[in-house]
Structure 1
Amino acid sequence: MKIERIRISNFRDLKDIDWIFPTVPTLIINRDINDQKLLDDLLMKLFYEQESQLLEKQKDNAAAEVWISEDNHHFMVRYENIQIDGQITQQLTFSDGNGYKVNLPEKMTIGEYLFRARLQAFLQGGRITWPDKDSQDNLFLRINNLSQGGDEDFSLTKVRASLIGAQKRVKDQRESMELVKAEYDALRNEWENAHRQQEANRLLLIEIKNLQENEAILSEKIALTHKIHQRLDCLAQNPDYRELRQLQDEISRLEERQQCLDEGLRAISSDGAVDWEIIENFREECMEWACLQKDVRSLTAEIEDRIILIEQMQKLLSASAYQGFREDEEQQLRRVMEERDSARDRLNELILVREELDELKLEYEEEITKLSKLIVMSDVTEDTVNRITRKEKQLNRWQSYKICNITDQLLTKPLKIKSINERLSAHLLEYYQRYHVANYREFTSRLEEYQQQQRQVENLKKRIEKLQEKVNKEPKLLRIIDSRNEIIKLALSKVEAADFSEWLNGWLAYQQMKKQRSEETDQLNKDLEQKLDLEKKLAICAEGMSENLKNWGIPVGDREEILSAILNVAGQLQERDAVKEEVAKYSEIFVKKIGNRDLEQLSRILEPLAELEREQRLSNKERLAEMTSWEKERVEIHQHLEVLNTRLQGDEQAASLSVLEKKIEVKKRQWTAYEDLRHALNDAQAILDLSWQEWQTKYEKNLSEEKQWIYEHFFSQKGKYTENETVVKRNYFSYRLALAQLALPITTEVPLFFSVGKISEGDQTFWADAAKYLNKLGLGRQVFLNTEDPLLAEILLDDGWSPFSFVDD
């Protein structure tokens, strides 16, 4: 990594420059220490975005650019001040050799990207500033810091002393903090007691409130029940109240109707269109006509209602799913269900038959196995049995006669032939060996056993065949069940019934509706005939009244109109008279029933009546027991309330929780701060010791060896300068440069920026030796030495350094 070029413009304390650096170590000469610091701050801003007050004081058009290269890659970093809305804003731009912006990962700086070194590593290995005060004591202190922890500004001894002092001060406060802790615990206990008391009081108040509500509810129940009891007594004393109210409502309705009819008649009378004399003369005929007319209208209304009902039933029957069924559909379905159930029962019986068949088959196989053991006897015929029996009898007779035995003995030896006894025995033995028996008794026993086993097998076979015949009927039964189920399912699906019971209910309802329709139709025909008769009578009556009107000298043209008016008035008169009769009848009944009672007062007590009717379901004894129970419970609650109120008033007032909490918080903060500080100091001491031990283990040896190598190879042992001062500077330089090498990887190409202010008189030889090491270091990495001292500049120029100066020519 190489810095190729730096260009600076419009900086207050630096002249405008455009430097291109060679490969040899570079010397930068400044006018004073401020210029030197400004250049250092500018480089730190460019690479690690470190803020600087010197940069903030620059002009609004100040700019700086740095070109860096690595192998074939080129980069440019630009710093500039831009004025936005009257304020100067610092802006950094990082681009590649083609001018395209380089996007860095989040929180990564340009220096980390270019040098692959974090800020701390760069400050230790890429930037070195020689102390302004390079006295022996100051350098000795820095050497100790470097040798102990690798940081010249960090004194392990001072930090340890500070930690020990802080721990001592914390320890001295232990007793006072224990008192704070005791106060905290006491306050905490007081708060808990107060909180418990407050919570107990809160629960006590809730319980009191609930008890008060329960007491009020019970009191209300008792009062309501008592009132209901009084109302029930009143209802018991007036059992005819409902009837009286109904009579009153009916009388009111009839009186309203009578009033309407009277008003209509008064309107006709005032109109003068009808002569009331005519109406009085035709009163009987009018009343007859009005009665007939009333009957016709009533019958007409009934006929119309019946026609509507028949039409509705016809629509329901037409829309019914039962429409397509036969009249004997119920009997047919019952027969189908009986056939299905019968087949199902027989099928269920076959389960037992199948089990019996399986058992018989197993028994049959066992018997067959037994029979196979006697299979040799299957060749025995009746002739064979007779022959063996005859031979056996011959042998027995021969052996039973002494003469036969003597004859065998006499003939056998001389003639050298087998005796009769031997020949008979040989024949029998041949038979017995053929049938695997030893003698005749065993033969007959074996033969009888075979015959008996054979009969057993035949019997089992016949039983199996009979049972198999029954089992073979299973497919037929299944077909019967399936076919009958299909018939039933089809019938049920037509009417969307879940089962036969639902279907039957619908069928019976359908048949009942058909019957009702037939009955209603017959009644309609009768009503029509009756209406026809009434209309004839009505016409005859009207015709008679019309004939009578001739005697009054009424013109023929007006007769129809007058007759119509007369009939209208007659109808109203007839209705009014009927209403009057009903009013008189109901009023008489009402007066007799009411007596000297006030119905309005009864209504106020007994209404709503439905509520009392519901209460009547409960007996007086039960109601009284319920009221007694409620009153007892109410008294108990009241007594409990008095006890709770006394207890609540007797409790001491607890301290305010908020005040206690504030006190607790103050003490807690004091104690927590003390404990946190104590633990923090202990942790800091442990971390410090651990870090120091880790650093000593990992880096102390390497740092010492690197420092010693620099010291021995680059500092001359000859010279006339002061021994102690020289040793300290050489040691410090060796330590600091050794740290710069070890802080970065061995193959690092991070540039080294070395800043030196004024050097002391007599240090020329020391700096000449130091320049040798820097020259050597410049072979592997780019080295910049920034100084304001002309004497040091002269030493470096004599050593071949390339100069760049901010000093005006």
Structure 2
Amino acid sequence: MKIERINGLHLKGLGNIKWTFPAGPVFLLFKEESQQKVLAELLWELFCKQKTLDTVHPLGSSSVFEMWVSRENHRFHIRQEYQLCDNDLLPTSDFIKDEITGENVSLADSMSLGEYIFGVNLQVVQQGVTIDWSEISDVNQLYQRIENICQSGDEKLSPQKVKASLIGAQNKVLEQKGKIALVKAEYDELRKDWENSHRQQEEERLLLIELKEFEENDAIIAEKITAAHKIKERLTLLNQNQDYRELRRLQTDIISSEERLRRAEANLAALTNESVIDWTLVESLREECIRWADLQEQIKRIDHIIQTLGDRIANLKVSIQTSGYEGSNNEKQRMYRLLEEKNTAQDKLNSLANFKKDLADTHLSLSQAAAELQELSEMTSVTQKDAARVARWEWQLRKWHNSIIGGTFERISQEHFSRFSIEKKLRTRIKQYYETLRVKDYEGFQNRLTKFHELKNYAERLQEKIIQLKNVIDQEEILRETVDSRNDSLNEAFFAANVDNFSLWLEGWKDCNRKIFQLSHLQKKLQSLSDRYDAEDTILRDFTAELKEKLNDWNTPVTDREEVLAMVFNVAHQLREKDRAEKRMAECRSKFMEMIGDRDLDTLAKKIEPLAELDKEALISSTDRQSAIASWEIERLEISRLRQDTEKRLKSMKKYLSLPVLEEKMEASRKEWMTYENLLMAINDTLRLFEMSTDSWQATYGNALYFEATRILKQFSSLSDIEMSQKELLKTKREYFAYRMAIAELALGNNIELPLYLSIEKLSEDESFLTNITEYLSQLSPARQIILSTTNLKLAEKLKNIGWPSIIV
């Protein structure tokens, strides 16, 4: 990597420059240190994006600084423009172009130009690319810088001072611990006040809600009490005016009659315009017209009733015909009989399961009895005669044994004739018989025989029971047929009546009977009305004929008389309607005035109405209503007491600062407290991290730095010819130079091809030290481009003598 050229335009202290650097080492010889400083600042700001306090001021309103750098397959053209603003030089634009690819380079905000161009981080650029050598004549200061390099790699960073500063800051912060404890205690107290205030506000809110609920409930109960008293007053007024309903009805009838009268008069007024009617004659026939109108209305009413009855009779007939019922008692009895037969057969079928179980149990019992009889099978041959014979044998044996004669005979026979005794023969015969029956004695014989007869009788009874049960069970098919046939008959009847069960069918049958009875009654009534209609119609026709005779004297053509007669009949209807309306209105008004007296119905209506509400309230007894009012009054007193208690609780609450004020104070205390803790934590973390960082750096680079510095020192010549007074200072300078260059080499790592810009402002006139520097830089120059800037003429002369090209500024 190589810096090829540097151009500048209107740079203060440098003016316009055009420098081309050769491939090998080169040195820049400045007349003044300020010029050297300008270049160092420009390079530092360009590569590291840093602006020093000593800002470069351009000669004019704008300045330009350009540089060409080549690296592998790239050749970068870097251009930076500056603008003078308030005596300060501000970068206005930059331009980076790769002239090999022709593309402009855009850097990320977090990347500096030195990092991009040299391919290393910013620290490597600061330690290994740009090195500023300042002449130091203080041995202690030199040792301090060497120690700084050995401990941290940065000559200007003293880990001991940093650590001492951090410990001092830590101690100062810890000194504030008591104060912070008070701040924390104040915060805790404020927090408690805030919680109490928040709780108090919530309690106040709830208490205010309670007060509002108390007020609402009190208003509701007061409204109930007021409404109850009003209802009570209205009921009392209604009881005092029990004829109120009748008065309302009369008033309604009066209004209705007035309306009827107005309609009749309006109709009559319309009819008076007809010129074909002699109203004098009509007035003379007033009674006849009213009589005719009454007959006509009567006939119409009867005809309407006959039509209505006819429709009802027709509907009843259709309903009876489609009901599916006969309506006779025989039908009802037949259905009852079918239902009873079906239920009886079904009950018997249901009980067959028990019979079948009983039959199975009986068969089992019979099998057990047969097995026991089989064990007593030898007893089958024992007849009553055999039993009587055995009983006789036993009697004879007992009799012979107990008789004196028998005993004497037995003794003589044995003594003189040596024969078997009769008693022994009897016993032997009986024993042999018992052995055939498997018994030992007569008692066993009797027991075994008795058991045999009992088992035999029991088995016979079981057989008889089995026969009876089989006879009952054999009826199952007949019973099923009975149930099915009766079900079919019932279902047919249910289907015809469109019902699901007998109870519904019976209700339908009863309804059908009622309809049949109603039909008979309506038919009789219809016949009676028909007869009456015929009689009334005959009277009407006769009356109409009489009216026609009376109209013969009118000067009216015969062809118009039917029309005139129709109009006369219409007038008759209206006159009748008017008379009835007047009569009804007079009757109602008379009765109304008689009942109302000096009362005002409108006033009563305003107080009593709505009447339906009073009818509903009248169902509640006055005692219950009074009890309800009393309970409401008690409830109001309780609500009033609770409301007063709540108001007292509100007034007695401790007053705290408002939440915003408390929160502001809490936030201030919390910030002070947290700032202290964060600062202490930051200092502790920084101190710990700094110690870890320095320890890690020394563990990683300490030995390498020492070996590299030792290697560089070995290249320097001996100090044997130097005076003792200068020997220590020169030795220290050598060590400092060796360590500074060693850290630069270590910082570069594998990037040894990066250029080195070494700025030497002042340098001692020691010949050996200058020789050491020039020799080291000459040995380093084949591997790296070295640009050395200085104002030292002696150093420049040495460099020139060893073949370094120069650029004089």
The corresponding residue for 2:244 is 241
The corresponding residue for 2:611 is 609
Check whether the contact 2:112–2:122 (CA below 8 A) recurs between aligned residues. no
- Offset at 1:349? 5.4
Secondary structure class of the residue paired with 1:757 = strand
Secondary structure class of the residue paired with 1:245 = helix
Distance 1:36 1:579, change over 3 A: same
Q: Partners in 2 of 1:535 and 1:108 — Cα distance?
A: 126
Please list the CA deviations of residues 609-656 of structure 1 after superposition, one character each: whole Å capped at 9, or x if unmatched. Answer: 22222222222223333333434444555566667667767x598464
1:661 paired with 2:662, answer yes
- Offset at 1:357? 8.5
Check whether the contact 1:95–1:101 (CA below 8 A) recurs between aligned residues. no
- Offset at 1:557? 1.9
Q: Partners in 1 of 2:781 and 2:572 — Cα distance?
A: 147
1:170 aligned to which of 168, 173, 176: 173
Q: Letter of the aligned partner of 2:130 in structure 1?
A: T
2:227 aligned to which of 224, 228, 233: 224
Q: Partners in 2 of 1:325 and 1:10 — Cα distance?
A: 127
Please list the CA deviations of residues 754-787 of structure 1 after superposition, one character each: whole Å capped at 9, or x if unmatched. Answer: 4432374644534643675786xx6xxxx66565
Check whether the contact 2:293–2:573 (CA below 8 A) recurs between aligned residues. yes
Check whether the contact 1:757–1:788 (CA below 8 A) recurs between aligned residues. yes
- TM-score (norm. length: structure 2): 0.65
The corresponding residue for 2:422 is none
Distance 1:248 1:68, change over 3 A: farther
Matching of residues 398-437 of structure 1 within 5 Å: none
The corresponding residue for 2:281 is 278
Q: Letter of the aligned partner of 2:610 in structure 1?
A: P
- Offset at 1:563? 0.8
Q: Letter of the aligned partner of 1:729 in structure 2?
A: F
- Offset at 1:279? 1.4
Check whether the contact 2:166–2:687 (CA below 8 A) recurs between aligned residues. no
Please list the CA deviations of residues 464-514 of structure 1 after superposition, one character each: whole Å capped at 9, or x if unmatched. Answer: 999999999999999999999999999999999898877877887788779
Matching of residues 410-809 of structure 1 within 5 Å: 534-535=536-537, 537-635=539-637, 637-638=639-640, 651=652, 654=655, 656-657=657-658, 660-661=661-662, 664-665=665-666, 669=668, 671-692=669-690, 694-695=692-693, 698-720=696-718, 722-741=730-749, 752=754, 754-758=756-760, 760=763, 762-763=769-770, 765-766=772-773, 768-769=775-776, 772=779, 788=789
Distance 1:111 1:131, change over 3 A: closer
Check whether the contact 1:707–1:735 (CA below 8 A) recurs between aligned residues. yes
Check whether the contact 1:268–1:274 (CA below 8 A) recurs between aligned residues. no
Q: Letter of the aligned partner of 1:710 in structure 2?
A: E
Distance 1:214 1:94, change over 3 A: farther
Aligned residues: 737
- TM-score (norm. length: structure 1): 0.65
Please list the CA deviations of residues 123-181 of structure 1 after superposition, one character each: whole Å capped at 9, or x if unmatched. Answer: 689x6432353647676545434443455564432332222222333344445555555
Matching of residues 144-183 of structure 1 within 5 Å: 144-149=147-152, 154-177=157-180, 180=183
- Offset at 1:736? 4.2
Secondary structure class of the residue paired with 1:617 = coil
Q: Once structures 1 and 2 are overlaid, which stretch shifts more, 301-310 or 494-503? A: 494-503
Distance 1:581 1:102, change over 3 A: same
Q: Partners in 2 of 1:246 and 1:153 — Cα distance?
A: 120
- Offset at 1:235? 1.4
- Offset at 1:243? 1.4
In structure 1, the gaps of 5 or more residues are 386-392, 406-423, 742-747
- Offset at 1:228? 2.5
Distance 1:240 1:447, change over 3 A: same
- Offset at 1:713? 3.9
- Offset at 1:568? 0.8
Secondary structure class of the residue paired with 1:131 = strand
- Offset at 1:560? 1.5
Check whether the contact 1:67–1:76 (CA below 8 A) recurs between aligned residues. yes
Secondary structure class of the residue paired with 1:729 = helix
Distance 1:283 1:492, change over 3 A: same
Q: Partners in 1 of 2:346 and 2:672 — Cα distance?
A: 95
- Offset at 1:561? 1.9
Q: Partners in 2 of 1:498 and 1:785 — Cα distance?
A: 121
- Offset at 1:659? 7.7
Q: Letter of the aligned partner of 2:741 in structure 1?
A: F
Q: Partners in 2 of 1:91 and 1:344 — Cα distance?
A: 115
Aligned-CA RMSD value = 7.0
Distance 1:189 1:40, change over 3 A: closer
Please list the CA deviations of residues 536-590 of structure 1 after superposition, one character each: whole Å capped at 9, or x if unmatched. Answer: 5544433442233223343212211211111111111122222233223333433
Q: Once structures 1 and 2 are overlaid, which stretch shifts more, 575-584 or 135-144? A: 135-144
The corresponding residue for 2:727 is none
In structure 2, the gaps of 5 or more residues are 31-35, 82-90, 384-392, 398-409, 415-427, 720-729
- Offset at 1:719? 1.0
Distance 1:682 1:299, change over 3 A: same
